[in-house]
């Protein structure tokens, strides 16, 4: 419960950050997060009155540490979300509660000097570059917890009385409690783009209500659907043994809960909470393990790497405002950037690294923890390269093998250098191109797919087309290298140059049927029928099928994928392809000079200069010819 409750607050704090950034952007100000994290820990709240209500230790200094979960750490969380009294004046500096600061902003927005036009200074496109509502989801598997024992193998059921026949326990979906309500502001969209005073005020209300509470009650909305951040932390405190004897000053509203029985003792808490050090620094992790009899390890490179990923996440957040919204269902634009950047870096990389770090002992009873420092990655246009350099430094460490998986995942995070004015990265094309280039007499492989005959399905590679004009050159044809200005269209089925599919580089990434290449991943049965998959997501490996690729499974193992694909195509021709309206009776040979081999990588890649996304290299590099670096 504690984990899901804290995560539910984290999710909504990311919402608050998004709302604040959207508001800034609408006012013509680019959000700046990189190198602006609090630190060093323990750190004061910005512009807060240095003194606050007395805490558990009797002190009243407001300093937030970076520490493991404890009764005292929960008090520091409460200091951040401490509710303002109803008569507290708005304050922009020296505020006692965060609510006073937001009241000050609210007063500014409502003042006669502020107009709707102030939130429209970037023009009509402003909303399209703000963080879009579809990027926010209030719940995940990490914000849910079971209310009772459940059957982990039970299938989800809509019936509230359904019980597993095997255990007489409910399935997981019926035992799940969700820490966040479906929406965060009286049934309105919690994450909204800002284009008016009303939008800005709604954003401020969402931030205040979710944090301190709705109208000084324990809940963050009038429907009492979800408790405020302040009250969530207070209820966690109420489960610990110190709460019954608490000395810290709590406000009268919302009324604090009674101690929750049975209480959790210090010893019980220590058994379930990882023993992280308090306020760790990368410098503090610096140990020399060479010739050290204690066997201590230098963990500073790992801490620096984690802080580097954290800082790059902040750059990714800033970069979102340079990526246009193209719709939640679009395969590109902000949604893809958000998923590839924020989700990959936060959920799969940084979280995984933190989990790995806590398996390393520091020799003083503590385990390794991220330090979240303002490590400088240089200008934003160079940050990705410098982050990868931090990753490279890990190779010298004895724990390199345990981190390599996360470094590999990092390669899929967007490089934002171009968005910040940097030069595009130089292409890495593996092996040098042979000279002389062997395919100068072949038509240049087309990156764009030409006009196709109607009624013919896309196909995966050269020589697999169903009729005349069905290849990448289309009905416009290809220019004869020996006769400039003369264009030729392939004569009949099986004679087309290369694929008409959307290029993709691996197993199950195909858009529809007959688009799966073969060779790297999949079952033997799948690999034995390349380019004959049934539907989207059922293809085995990349298209187009470069001639160098061989199957790794099944009866064709070790043999040419393209040769097998052509064989399957010829075997299916009488019964399958001839049923297409207008299909010819005759099946022609694949075009020269690739009649016997299929299209080589060098031809597809335009002389090894444009790999694009068609090469499935694998960890060995064997399937991509010379195109794998």
Residue 198 or residue 396, greater confidence: 198
Question: Per-residue pLDDT for 556 more than 60?
Answer: yes
Q: Looking at the structure, tell me whether residues 70 and 123 fall in a common domain.
A: yes
202 assigned to some structural domain: yes
pLDDT at residue 542, as a whole number: 67
User: Above 70 in pLDDT, residue 533?
Assistant: no
**Structural domain contains residue 107:** yes
- Residue 184 confidence (pLDDT): 45
What pLDDT sits at residue 502? 61
Phi, psi of 185 (to 5 degrees): -155, 70
pLDDT score, position 570: 80
Task: Name the average pLDDT for the chain.
Answer: 84
Helices in 284-439 by DSSP H: which ranges? 300-319, 333-338, 351-357, 383-393, 400-410
Among 396, 420, 444, give the residue marking a domain's end.
420
Q: pLDDT at residue 168 above 70?
A: yes
Whether 625 is in a domain gets the answer yes
Q: Is residue 192 assigned to a domain?
A: yes
Q: Are residues 214 and 69 in the same domain?
A: yes
Least confident of 37-46, 70-79, 241-250, 521-530: 521-530
pTM for this prediction: 0.68
The answer to whether residues 600 and 462 belong to one domain is yes
Q: Is residue 144 part of a domain?
A: yes
| Shared-domain flag, residues 216 and 295 | no
pLDDT at 311 over 80: yes
Residues 345 and 434 in one domain: no
For residues 465 and 323, which has the higher predicted lDDT (pLDDT)? 323
Q: What is the pLDDT of residues 340-353, one digit of tens each?
A: 888 888 888 999 99
Q: Are 309 and 387 in contact (CB under 8 A)?
A: yes
How confident is the model at residue 91, as a pLDDT?
95
The pLDDT score that the predictor gives to residue 342 is: 86
Q: Residue 287 — pLDDT band, cuts 50, 70, 90?
A: low
pLDDT of residue 425: 46
Share of the chain above pLDDT 90, in %: 46
Structural domain includes residue 157: yes
- Asked if 406 and 555 sit in the same domain, the reply is no
- Distance between CA atoms of residues 231 and 485, nearest Å: 76
Instruction: Please report the pLDDT score of residue 503 as a whole number.
Output: 63
Q: Do both 262 and 294 map to the same domain?
A: no
Q: What is the CA radius of gyration of the chain?
A: 30
Q: Are residues 377 and 436 both part of a single domain?
A: no
Confidence of residue 187 (pLDDT cuts 50, 70, 90): very low
- Residue ending a domain, among 420, 447, 482, is 420
Lowest mean pLDDT among 14-18, 24-28, 112-116, 170-174: 170-174
Residues 477 and 362 in one domain: no
Give yes or no: residues 158 and 126 share one domain. Answer: no
**Structure confidence at residue 211 (pLDDT):** 93
Cα separation, 536 vs 528, in Å, equals 18
pLDDT in tens, 473-495: 878 888 877 777 778 887 777 76
Three-class SS of residue 589? coil
pLDDT value of residue 515 = 57
What pLDDT score was predicted for residue 32? 96
**In the predicted model, what is the mean pLDDT of residues 34-43?**
91
Instruction: Identify the band that residue 618 occupies on the pLDDT scale cut at 50, 70 and 90.
Output: low
**What is the C-alpha separation between 540 and 201, in angstroms, rounded?**
51
User: Higher model confidence: residue 186 or residue 151?
Assistant: 151
CATH number at residue 349: 1.20.1260
Place of tokens 């896309």: 458
Number of domains the chain contains? 4
Give the pLDDT score at 185: 43
Whether 278 maps to a domain, the answer reads no
pLDDT of residue 162: 62
Q: Which domain holds residue 193?
A: 2-138+180-272
- Cβ burial, residue 599 (10 Å; 0-12/13-18/19+): buried
pLDDT at 617 over 70: no
User: Between residues 68 and 435, which one has the greater pLDDT?
Assistant: 68
Alpha carbons 432 and 430: distance in angstroms, whole number = 7
Query: Does residue 165 share a domain with residue 191?
Result: no
Answer with the residue of higher pLDDT: 551 or 208: 208
Domain boundary among 222, 237, 272: 272
Measured at the alpha carbon of residue 179, what is the angle toward residues 178 and 184, in degrees to the nearest 5? 105
Q: What is the pLDDT of residue 388?
A: 95
Task: Classify residue 145: in a domain, yes or no.
Answer: yes
> Does residue 460 sit in the same domain as residue 598?
yes
pLDDT band at residue 89, thresholds of 50, 70 and 90? very high
Instruction: Tell me the average pLDDT across 53-76.
Output: 93
């Amino acid at each position: 419960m504690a984990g899901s409750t804290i995560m539910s607050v984290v999710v909504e704090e990311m919402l608050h950050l998004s709302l604040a950034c959207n508001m800034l952007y609408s006012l013509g100000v680019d959000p700046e997060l990189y190198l602006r994290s609090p630190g060093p820990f323990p750190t004061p709240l910005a512009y807060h009155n240095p003194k606050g209500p007395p805490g558990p230790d009797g002190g009243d200094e407001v300093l937030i540490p970076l520490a493991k979960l404890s009764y005292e750490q929960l008090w520091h969380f409460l200091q951040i979300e401490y509710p303002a009294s109803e008569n507290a004046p708005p304050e922009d500096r020296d505020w006692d509660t965060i609510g006073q600061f937001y009241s000050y902003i609210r007063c500014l927005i409502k003042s006669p000097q502020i107009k709707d036009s102030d939130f429209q200074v970037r023009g009509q496109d402003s909303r399209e570059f703000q963080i879009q509502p579809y990027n926010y989801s209030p719940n995940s598997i990490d914000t849910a917890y079971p209310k009772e024992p459940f059957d982990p193998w039970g299938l989800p059921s809509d019936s509230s009385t359904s019980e597993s026949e095997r255990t007489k326990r409910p399935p997981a979906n019926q035992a799940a409690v969700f820490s966040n309500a479906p929406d965060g502001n009286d049934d309105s969209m919690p994450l909204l783009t800002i284009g008016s005073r009303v939008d800005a005020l709604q954003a401020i209300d969402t931030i205040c209500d979710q944090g301190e509470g709705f109208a000084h009650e324990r809940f963050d909305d009038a429907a009492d659907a979800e408790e405020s951040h302040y009250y969530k932390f207070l209820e966690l405190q109420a489960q610990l043994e110190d709460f019954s004897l608490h000395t810290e000053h709590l406000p009268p509203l919302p009324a604090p809960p009674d101690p929750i029985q049975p209480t959790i003792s210090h010893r019980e808490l220590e058994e379930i909470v990882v023993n992280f050090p308090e306020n760790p620094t990368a410098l503090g992790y610096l140990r020399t393990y060479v010739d050290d009899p204690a066997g201590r390890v230098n963990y500073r490179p790992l801490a620096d790497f984690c802080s580097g990923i954290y800082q790059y996440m902040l750059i990714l957040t800033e970069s979102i405002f340079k990526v246009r919204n193209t719709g939640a269902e679009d395969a590109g634009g902000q949604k893809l950037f958000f998923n590839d950047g924020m989700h990959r870096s936060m959920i799969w990389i940084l979280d995984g690294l933190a989990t790995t770090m806590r398996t390393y002992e520091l020799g003083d009873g503590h385990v390794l923890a991220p330090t979240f420092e303002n490590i400088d990655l240089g200008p934003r246009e160079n940050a990705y390269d410098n982050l990868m350099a931090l990753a490279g430094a890990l190779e010298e460490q004895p724990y390199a093998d345990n981190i390599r998986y996360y470094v590999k995942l990092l390669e899929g995070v967007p490089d934002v250098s171009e968005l910040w004015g940097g030069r595009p990265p130089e292409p890495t094309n593996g092996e040098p191109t042979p000279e002389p280039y062997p395919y100068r007499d072949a038509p240049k492989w087309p990156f764009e797919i030409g006009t196709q005959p109607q009624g013919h399905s896309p196909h995966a590679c050269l020589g697999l087309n169903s009729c005349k004009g069905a290849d990448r050159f289309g009905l416009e044809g290809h220019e004869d290298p020996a006769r400039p200005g003369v264009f030729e269209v392939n004569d009949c089925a099986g004679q087309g140059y290369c694929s008409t599919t959307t290029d993709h580089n691996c197993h199950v990434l195909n858009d529809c049927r007959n688009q799966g290449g073969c060779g790297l991943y999949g079952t033997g049965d799948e690999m034995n029928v390349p380019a004959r998959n049934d539907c989207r997501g059922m293809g085995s490996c990349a298209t187009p099928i470069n001639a160098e690729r061989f199957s790794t499974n099944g009866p064709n193992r070790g043999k040419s994928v393209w040769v097998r694909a052509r064989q399957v195509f010829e075997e299916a021709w009488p019964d399958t392809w001839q049923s297409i309206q207008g299909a010819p009776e005759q099946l022609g040979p694949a075009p020269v000079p690739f009649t016997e081999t299929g299209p080589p990588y060098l031809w597809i890649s335009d002389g090894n200069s444009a790999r694009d996304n068609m090469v499935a290299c694998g960890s060995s590099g064997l399937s991509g010819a010379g195109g794998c670096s």
